[in-house]
Structure 1
């Protein structure tokens, strides 16, 4: 039976136009989701920061917990011991930094630092090329730092540490709940997705555990070494607040690339302000930079290798992104979060090409 023109099937829609429309709609959804996520991260930072720090510390505890369990210590007791030691360490570090910041705000010390800084600035103004009296006055006026400025800065930092106890307690509670959730998590995965899919998800989680655990272990080792060596240098030269600078160098070394530069800049500036002899400040600066370069450029790459498998450019972008949203905490968490995203994308067939683009292969 022949088909009449009126009974002919309708013409297929323009497939290229439909595909373009679908992709445009998907891009709009992704952009909207990204904007909403950034807004929520900023809005609820006081809740989310302790939670992500708790996750970070839990990853840090994982290798130690596994070692204690292999030694015959019950799993729950091992977690209790580790959490107690971590929280005592965090509180001790916070108290030490707070005490030293309070001493830094001492009036006599600030006046001494102000005089030294003014002398250095005037010496720099004298060496300006094409100097004129007006140019020198403008230079001195623009970069003058008074003791009141330093006092205001240290008091502002000290006030931030006033909230430290609340933050630490919140983080401690999150750690307890994360550990409690780990016990029943495999069983709930199997109930929700079935035994096969649940095991697959657990495999991804274990891969994340190993990758982040190795990263945190290596970072902790090299950061502790950098902090101890820097403290030794500062203590030998009797730089004030040597212990505080050592702790700050340890903490800031968790921030790739940028953290070590900022960490050594602060004690170097103080050493030039503290000592009348310029050579002492120069030697301290050379030793601190040498420690950072030796550890960052030689030791750490040989310990860590290419385990993270993440593009350095993406790491810098992640540092900028998380630093803009959450400050120093965000910069510390940037690399672990980036690694987690890459591992998840690598285990989904549809998004595996994106994970490959993110890698450092």
Structure 2
């Protein structure tokens, strides 16, 4: 073989190809890491904005969800040759009238109970102390053991009670009325111009596939969230009526008030029923002398809630809202911390919307899998 002849290039290819593939894979991994870090930064920025701009964002979200709730009725009225602006105005007027009538009917009982709340708490405190006496004795034993061990910090610790500042009702009332008016107006305009806004958004989408994806996401959100709202509202009303009937049969005072509160708290999964059971236990301890009779209202309500949550709601919803309970609890904690009571009420509908979007977008389908039961 002539030594001046150069070796063929193919002899170096098996060595160079793995190095090139490794370099490309490293670039891809770096891009994925950068993408995830940017996603975390964007999520943090969104949460930061939601926290400090809650007075602006909450009315828009409430109006959007009220519009989704009324949208099926809006379509039926519009199909009967009724102008959209008249249909939207009639629906909002009817909705406000129903809420106002319920509030007016329950206001005397609620005001009376609020006035009697300090007395009810004073009457229930001895019973609660009797129930918690074993835990108090155990804590005293733990404290004494700490003192024997020389825990000086525990001996020097003091409990300082600070009275909360009084709310300035005169300053808060105009802001609350402005927020309510903003929700009403935004709901009206969402009902009136929602379809037009969707068509304008579709014009901005660059490709036919992107337009189809947008329509699929919007229709799924409208159908699933509307169905979720209607189902939860219907089952909550049924649970409230059943709770009021049960409390009336047990002889509890103001059963209609507690039935309405049970229906309202049932809109928040897990947290609302636990709060309602605690309230009914407190009311029972203050009204009935026997311990069994005192705890019977709370036990009966928990039985009705179990029947509603495990049988009625899954039977109607099916697998439309298939969410992981752990994801729901974490989501409730997050938005309850950010927005308080309104955050608890809006948390599950927002989680349903998030799951719908993630299940339709290919790059976000892993999140949708994590959110499923």
What TM-score, normalized to structure 1? Answer: 0.79
1:51 aligns with 2:63: no
**SS, match of residue 323 in structure 2:** coil
- Structure 1's unaligned 5+ residue stretches are 3-10, 139-148
Asked whether the equivalents of residues 323 and 372 of structure 2 are also in contact (C-alpha less than 8 Å), the reply is yes
Q: Deviations over 1:77-101 (max 9, x none)?
A: 2221111122233445556666555
1:128 pairs with 134, 153, 163, which one? 134
Tell me by how many angstroms 1:40 deviates. 0.6
Deviation of residue 221 (structure 1)? 0.9
Is contact 2:213-2:360 (8 Å) kept? no
CA displacement at 1:338 relative to structure 2: 1.6
CA shift for structure 1 position 268? 2.8
Q: 1:35 and 1:202, CA in 2 relative to 1: closer, same or farther beyond 3 A?
A: same
State the partner residue of 2:24.
15
Given candidates 181, 191, 194, the residue that maps to 1:179 is: 191
Post-superposition offset of 1:317:
2.2
1:230: which partner in 2?
243
Within 5 Å, give how 1:33-182 maps onto structure 2.
33-70=42-79, 73-93=82-102, 100-106=109-115, 109-110=116-117, 112-124=119-131, 128=134, 162=173, 164-182=176-194
SS in structure 2 opposite 1:14? helix
Question: Which one of 261, 264, 271 corresponds to residue 277 of structure 2?
Answer: 264
- Deviations for 1:89-125, whole angstroms, at most 9, x for unmatched residues? 344555666655543343xx35632442243145336
- Report the more deviating stretch, 218-227 or 76-85: 76-85
User: Aligned to 1:209, which of 222, 245, 264?
Assistant: 222
Matched, 1:290 2:268: no
Aligned-pair RMSD on alpha carbons? 3.7
Aligned in 2, Cα 1:21/1:94: closer, same or farther, shift over 3 Å?
farther
Superposed displacement of residue 343, structure 1: 1.7
When residues 270 and 28 of structure 1 are mapped into structure 2, their CA distance, relative to the original with a 3 A threshold, is same
Q: Matched residues in 2 for 1:180 and 1:170: separation?
A: 15
| 1:98 and 1:158 in contact (8 A); partners too | no
Which of 193, 205, 229 is residue 205 of structure 2 equivalent to? 193
Q: Tell me the alpha carbon deviations over residues 135-171 of structure 1, each in whole angstroms, 9 at most, x when there is no partner.
A: 7xx9xxxxxxxxxx9xx89x87999995653332221
Cα distance in structure 2, aligned partners of 1:265 and 1:242: 16
TM-score by length of 2: 0.76
**Counterpart position of 1:301:** 314
Q: Residue 252 of structure 2 aligns to a residue in which SS?
A: coil
Change over 3 Å in CA distance of 1:161–1:117 after alignment to 2: farther
Change (3 A) 1:310 1:120: closer
Aligned 1:232-247 pairs, distance under 5 A: 232-247=245-260
Aligned 8 A contact 1:231 1:245 in 2: yes
Match of 1:244, SS? helix
The answer to whether residue 227 in structure 2 is matched with residue 221 in structure 1 is no
Count of matched residue pairs: 338
- The runs of 5 or more residues in structure 2 that have no matched partner are 1-5, 7-18, 145-162
Distance 1:66 1:260 in 2: 34
CA displacement at 1:242 relative to structure 2: 3.0
